[in-house]
Amino acid sequence: MDFTTFKPPTELLWLGTIGTALAVGWRHVTSIVRNVTGFVIGSTKVDQNELALIATAFIQSKKSYRGASRGYIHTHRFLFHIKRTKSIVVEDLRACDSIVVLGPFWKFVWVTKGGGNSITIYGLRGLVNLEEDFIKPAVQYWNQLEDNEEDRRTGCRKRYSVTHVRGPGRLGKYNIDTDDVPTNRTTSSEGSSSSAPSVSDLTMVQLRSAFRHVTANPDHMVPVAENWNPYEGLVDVGGSHTFRQYCKQWYHSEEWHKANNIPWRHGILLVGEPGSGKTSYIRAVAQALDLPVALMDLTSMDNSSLTCLWRRTAMTAPVMIVFEDLDNVFHGRENVMGELGGGLSFDCLLNTIGGIEESNGVLMVGTVNDMSKIDPALGVLDPDRGCSTRPGRFDHVIHFEKPTDTERKELANYFLSEFTEEEISKLVIDTDGYSMAQVKSTFVDVARQRYFETKLETT
């Protein structure tokens, strides 16, 4: 066949022309279809992790029809009814597509899963207002869930947590680690955020509402309300009772401070040798007042990080900010950490804790082992007046002394209830001159030894 003289059929020419036109104009066609569809169907993308959880929880409260896809996640949670950490499996309800009815049958939305933990919500314009019918009710529903969770935990600590706040000296970036309350993200000095939290980091409201529990009861993952005394097992030593009273008075005097235009902040410096009970009472007071605790690591901070982290922590007020072992960081006005520290200056510390900013709602507590190393500008005990040399920074200076015979006897009666009076008296005499930590450790060791001896005799 001579291809130079071949003429294709007229039908092929038309098909080729139409195909070429469709290929060239496909982008324009899809753009037109998308714009036309946008007039009919509204959509909103939810890619912030917590907002996606809120939306997912709201979906579960409505009549919905779920797609076939499923997503399961393994994690570990502490189960309070058996007092053990166990493996659990939950279904991630963000992983499946759903049709959600928001009211009448014609008011519905279609929810699809996007990349990561994001979801996209679609609704017919004129029938569904995504902001009024979905976003706002979802947030209101979430707030009610959080209130219900608080009611469920009545009698338990709600705000108490311990947060380690570090600067760039040792970690290279700002870092805030929370022991008891999970955080959604870690923020760097530049203000950027890391990825979304894992399931093990989620709060109980999030875990209860946006996930279906396959292998465990979510009620077993929250502490049971009970009458609990944070001061149980502690004996008032030296100024510990005064410390408790100052903190309690400050906490319950917010309205009085505001009415008299006085900043609602307070600073207390605790002085005592290691093991005198300073840290134990700080923890007990914070638990009793249900205050979050921020442990400021001054050894790792420079001037800018302290200023920034102080301001950020104060935003969680009321809060207790703790500076432990100040005499290990500053001798007088000199930062003795050298290259191991972050380079914090004494002037910056003074300006931060007692400068022009009011820091309302901050209860500042410092601890010191050797008071001779503390500069009077920070606040030391004035022997002539019996008060702090620098109110507005550390308003009170309280000394924790070694326990007296009476105080050691009180502690012995608590831990050694199975011992005779003669045995207790001997132990009280033997522990003369001990610090509170040493006394408690001795009594606990003796009580534990007696327990095991009794247990062996009965087996």
Per-residue model confidence as pLDDT tens for the chain (459 residues): 554 555 556 656 666 667 676 666 666 666 666 655 665 677 777 765 677 778 888 887 887 777 767 788 888 888 877 878 888 888 877 777 888 888 887 788 888 877 666 788 888 887 888 888 888 888 888 888 877 766 555 555 568 888 888 888 754 444 555 444 333 333 333 333 334 445 555 667 777 777 888 888 887 877 655 567 888 878 887 788 899 999 999 999 999 999 999 999 999 999 999 988 899 999 999 999 989 999 999 988 999 999 999 999 998 889 999 999 999 999 999 998 877 778 899 999 999 988 777 789 999 999 999 988 988 888 777 766 656 777 778 988 999 988 999 999 999 998 898 899 999 999 999 999 998 889 999 999 999 998 888 877 776
Q: What is the pTM of this model?
A: 0.65
Q: What angle do CA 165, 171, 173 make, to 5 degrees?
A: 75
According to the model, what pLDDT value does residue 225 have? Answer: 54
Separation of alpha carbons 354 and 224, rounded Å: 40
Q: What is the pairing mode between strands 265-271 and 330-331?
A: unpaired
Peptide bond into 168 cis (omega under 30): no
Ramachandran region, residue 325 (left: φ > 0; alpha: ψ -120 to 50; beta: rest): left
Cα(305)–Cα(313) distance, rounded to whole angstroms? 12
Domain 240-399 is of which CATH architecture?
Answer: 3-Layer(aba) Sandwich (3.40)
Q: For the chain, what are the domain ranges?
A: 41-67+99-152, 240-399, 405-457
Q: Is 276 exposed, middle or buried (0-12, 13-18, 19+ CB in 10 A)?
A: buried
Distance CA 332, CA 440 (A): 33
